[in-house]
Amino acid sequence: MEATVTTATEGKVWGGGNRPLGASYGKMMIWYFILSDALTFSGFLAAYGLTRFKFIDSWPIADEVFNHFPFLHGVDAPMYYVALMTFILIFSSVTMVLAVDAGHQMKRSKVAWYMFFTVIGGLIFLGSQAWEWKNFIQGSYGAVETKGGQILQFVDADTGKRLALSDFATPNTEAKQSVNVNGITAEVDQAEHIYAVNDIVEGFNANQNVLIRTEKLNEHGHKTLLTREQSAEKLKSAVHVVEGANLIRNEYGNKQFADFFFFITGFHGFHVFTGVVLNIIIFFNVILGTYEKRKSYEMVEKVGLYWHFVDLVWVFVFTFFYLV
Amino acid sequence: MAHAHASNVKRIWTVFFILSVVTIVEVILGIIRPEWSMTMVVGMKILNWIFIILTLVKAYYIAWAFMHLEGEKGSFRWSIVLPLIILIPYLIALLLTEGHYIHEVMREGFISWDF
């Protein structure tokens, strides 16, 4: 390890002009901010890990939850979309580092163009995340919750595919519950689209091909599928119809699953948003020639460090939320 | 910081290529989930170990190449990396052990959670 203070300047160590650890003040401080932020994210992900281990035999399967792709309705596309989002973010990291590189060579218009592409990449990522949230909140199949707080989902006995509530049940009683895609307003405006537990039970009795699967994972890592008799028995304990997700309950399974999803991807998305705002500021400063006058593009480098960090966090979120 | 102001463009694209390949491998593995990778090793499936190792590889390249840690002084580099490699494994070890313990309690306890 190199010495922190150079002996050659011993006489004026406290006189200023020293660069401890060979880094400028701003760069060192952004690095230590990143260090503390990295620990914050580690805390979130470790808490997610704890909850996951706590419910190791019933956690929702990510491939089944995140299987949407734009313009491919009803097609099972596990992970393709998140993989695309990962690429978008990595690519915007590349344009960022190219901007920093062009800055070292004082090439103003090149820096501006690369910053522009970085901002566009960030905006596309934010839009993708909003779309991902929309799908997650809206849900695609619907489920019921038992009085023990477990989620029961429906499966077609003939095809083995998941059944949406609308595939076998019709809403006809006036349901008074707010756990729905459209939230509170649905109670008023679209009361005819809201299912009551009774509607589900009637639909289940009328369609012999409907089976229930529970949260429990079997030895192959699949959700446990009940027989018709077990399903009928289990359905007796249903107390809620759950469509989509909110912070209280979700149709995918464990309640904390949605909480962690909203919290971790939301906190990361907020970082991306902040990064985009900073990048826009830098972009205009480059255009106005602020750094040209300063004869240094170090500010691009510092904001770049933050932007790369956002990408770095996403790499971990991608692994622990979608892959593992 | 490179004082020579030499262009690193080639290095940047190489790293982008590596990151892309690693991500593609992860996605393919995640979709096919091969049978051989389902064996448990040290409390976790081989597949999950592969994912975590590949993630650390990606993190290394982002931090070292994109965030240019490779160009910083060794002492500065350690002042950033050392706290992370001490504190994060410590936190993870404590919390995952605790999570596992809570799982056992919920499973073996006298109260049923599924009714």
Alpha carbon of B93: minimum distance to chain A alpha carbons (Å): 9
List, as ranges, residues 37-56 from A with C-beta within 8 Å of B.
38-39, 42-43, 46-47, 49-56
In single-letter form, the type of residue at position B21 comes to V
Helix (H/G/I), strand (E/B), else coil: B92: helix
Q: Is B91 in contact with A90 (Cβ distance < 8 A)?
A: no
Closest alpha carbon to A176 in A185, A187, A166, A186? A187
Residues in chain A with CB shorter than 8 Å from the CB of B76 are: 21-23, 28, 31
Give the number of A-B residue pairs with CB atoms closer than 8 Å. Answer: 161
Q: Is B115 in contact with A147 (Cβ distance < 8 A)?
A: yes
Indicate the range of A2-11, A77-86, A88-97, A145-154 predicted with least confidence: A2-11
Q: By CB neighbour count within 10 A (0-12 exposed, 13-18 middle, 19+ buried), where does B32 fall?
A: exposed
Structure tokens at A107: 């090439």
Between A54, A100, A318, which is nearest B103 by CB? A54
Nearest CA in chain B to A88: B20
Entry pTM: 0.88
Domain A38-139+256-323 coded CATH 1.20.120.80: yes
Alpha carbon of B110: minimum distance to chain A alpha carbons (Å): 15
Q: How confident is the model at residue A2 (pLDDT cuts 50, 70, 90)?
A: very low
- B20-62, pLDDT tens digit by residue? 999 999 989 988 888 888 888 887 889 999 999 999 999 999 9
Cα separation, B64 vs A240, whole angstroms: 51
Q: Is B96 in contact with A53 (Cβ distance < 8 A)?
A: yes
Cα separation, A96 vs A17, whole angstroms: 29
The domain limits of chain B are: 1-71, 73-115
**Region A274-290: what's the mean pLDDT?**
96
The domain limits of chain A are: 38-139+256-323, 143-243
Phi-psi region of A254 (alpha: psi -120 to 50; beta: other; left: phi over 0): beta
Closest alpha carbon to A183 in A234, A137, A251, A240? A137
Q: Please state the ipTM of this predicted complex.
A: 0.91
- Asked if A254 contacts A55 with a C-beta cutoff of 8 angstroms, the reply is yes
Structure tokens at A299: 């500010």
Q: What is the 3-state secondary structure (H, E, C) of chain A?
A: CCCCCCHHHHHHHHHCCCCHHHCCHHHHHHHHHHHHHHHHHHHHHHHHHHHHHHCCCCCCCHHHHCCCECCECCCCCCCHHHHHHHHHHHHHHHHHHHHHHHHHCCCHHHHHHHHHHHHHHHHHHHHHHHHHHHHHHHCCCCEEEECCCCEEEEEECCCCCECCHHHHCCCCCCCCCCCCCCHHHHHHHCHHHCCCHHHHHHHHHHCCCEEEEEEEECCCCCEEECCHHHHHHHHCCEEEEECCECCCCECCCCHHHHHHHHHHHHHHHHHHHHHHHHHHHHHHHHHHCHHHHHCCCHHHHHHHHHHHHHHHHHHHHHHHHHHC
- A261-270, pLDDT tens digit by residue? 999 999 999 9
* Whether pLDDT at A112 is above 90: yes
Between B13, B31, B87, which is nearest A78 by CB? B31
Q: Is B100 in contact with A2 (Cβ distance < 8 A)?
A: no
Closest alpha carbon to A298 in A31, A100, A17, A117? A100
Alpha carbon of B50: minimum distance to chain A alpha carbons (Å): 10
**Region A12-41: what's the mean pLDDT?**
87
Q: Is B51 in contact with A319 (Cβ distance < 8 A)?
A: yes
Q: What is the DSSP-derived secondary structure letter of residue B35?
A: G
Between B55, B72, B95, which is nearest A49 by CB? B95
Phi/psi of residue B109, each to 5°?
A: -65, 170
